[in-house]
């Protein structure tokens, strides 16, 4: 009906009627829209007289746990069984775990503890208040794995904690590497697999390390020395 009305000027009165109807429709629907705009609500963190503490935002229900933060496996996150440090790794130690542990250790711990773990790192040599103990003393060699984890997680004495810089998985990787460092300095003949020479042959280096970089070892296949002198 609409198009016909606009096309033929004879039916002018009918055009006016439909125009008025349209206007009325617009008026009704806009009123509705304004109503939606002025509904009662609170701006974020605004004041409210509705609650006793006058805060419009409600705190989460007590005991609420954010997504991804349900730390059910508490040993993995604390290194403790009850109140005491445990002496097991929460996952199997593979070469990848030790490689990652070495990398993270050299970044986060070696500046103070040295790459050997003897406590003669750079930072204490430049005036840090206390020299860290060597990992190779009997007390720390006998310390349970979970203890080393908890030192990183909670800090120890003047050593700060590293829980925000190093995620739990990496902290465990470092624990495994610290234990490997300790074994490397306190090995006996009994630890050497049968048939292996003592002392073992040194690796062939492609590049000697500097103070700031690790030495690069030749791949297994071409690391056989050409001539034994
Ligand atoms: C800023 C220097 C610094 C860094 C970095 C550091 N430590 Fe320490 N660490 C210390 C000092 C100092 C002590 C001795 C603290 C004391 O006795 O007050 C210590 C002590 C320790 C101990 C022995 C605790 C004991 O019972 O005697 C362990 C294990 C340890 N650190 C592990 C680590 C590991 C693992 C890292 C790397 C994630 C690390 N530390 C990084 C300075 C550091």
Q: What is the pLDDT of residues 85-120, one digit of tens each?
A: 999 999 999 999 999 999 999 999 999 999 999 999
Count Cβ atoms below 10 Å from residue 192 Cβ, excluding itself. 13
Whose C-alpha lies nearest to ligand 1, atom 26?
140
Band of pLDDT at residue 9, cut at 50, 70 and 90: low
pLDDT value of position 126:
92
Pocket of ligand 1 (CB under 6 A): 108-109, 111-113, 123, 128, 130, 132-133, 140, 148, 151-152, 156-159, 162, 166, 174, 178
Whose C-alpha lies nearest to ligand 1, atom 38?
109
Is the Cβ–Cβ distance between 189 and 198 less than 8 Å?
yes
Q: Give 55 or 200, the one with higher predicted confidence.
A: 55
Atom of ligand 1 nearest to the CA of 158: 18
Q: Give 94 or 208, the one with higher predicted confidence.
A: 94
Cβ neighbors of 141 (< 8 A, separation 6 or more) are 135, 182, 186
R_g of the chain, CA atoms, integer Å: 36
| Domains of the chain, earliest start first | 82-186 (1.10.760.10)
Q: How far apart are the C-alpha atoms of 93 and 180, rounded to whole Å? A: 11
Collapsing DSSP to helix, strand or coil, 84 comes out as strand
Is the Cβ–Cβ distance between 83 and 74 less than 8 Å?
no
Q: CA 162: distance to chain centroid? A: 11
Q: Which of 100, 131, 132, 148 for a ligand 1 pocket mutation test, highest count of atoms within 8 Å of Cβ? A: 132
pLDDT value of position 15:
85
Is the Cβ–Cβ distance between 86 and 168 less than 8 Å?
no
Q: How far apart are the C-alpha atoms of 63 and 154, rounded to whole Å? A: 23
Is the Cβ–Cβ distance between 109 and 115 less than 8 Å?
no
Whose C-alpha lies nearest to ligand 1, atom 30?
151
Q: What percent of the chain has pLDDT over 70?
A: 87
The region that residue 4 occupies, defined by phi over 0 for left and psi between -120 and 50 for alpha, beta otherwise, is alpha
Mean pLDDT score of the chain, rounded to an integer? 86
Please give the average per-residue pLDDT across 38-60, as a whole number. Answer: 88
- Measure 92 CA to ligand 1 centroid, in angstroms: 25
pLDDT value of position 30:
63
pLDDT value of position 229:
40
């Amino acid at each position: 009906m609409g198009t016909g009305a606009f096309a033929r000027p004879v039916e002018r009165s009918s055009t006016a009627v439909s125009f008025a109807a349209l206007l009325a429709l617009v008026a009704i629907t806009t009123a509705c829209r304004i109503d939606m705009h002025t509904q009662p609500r609170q701006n974020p963190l605004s004041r409210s007289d509705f609650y006793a503490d006058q805060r419009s935002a409600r705190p989460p229900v007590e005991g609420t746990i954010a997504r991804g933060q349900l730390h059910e496996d508490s040993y993995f996150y604390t290194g403790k069984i009850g109140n005491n440090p445990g002496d097991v790794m929460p996952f199997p130690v593979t070469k990848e775990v030790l490689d990652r542990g070495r990398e993270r250790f050299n970044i986060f711990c070696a500046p103070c503890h040295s790459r050997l773990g003897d406590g003669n790192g750079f930072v204490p040599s430049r005036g840090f208040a206390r020299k860290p103990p060597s990992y190779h003393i009997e007390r720390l060699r006998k310390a349970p794995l979970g203890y080393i984890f908890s030192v990183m997680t909670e800090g120890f004495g003047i050593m700060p904690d590293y829980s925000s810089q190093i995620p739990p998985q990496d902290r465990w990787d470092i624990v495994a590497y610290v234990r490997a460092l300790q074994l490397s300095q306190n090995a006996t003949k009994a630890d050497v697999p049968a048939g292996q020479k003592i002392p073992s042959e040194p690796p062939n280096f492609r590049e000697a390390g500097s103070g700031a970089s690790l030495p690069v070892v030749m791949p297994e296949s071409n690391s056989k020395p050409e001539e034994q002198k």
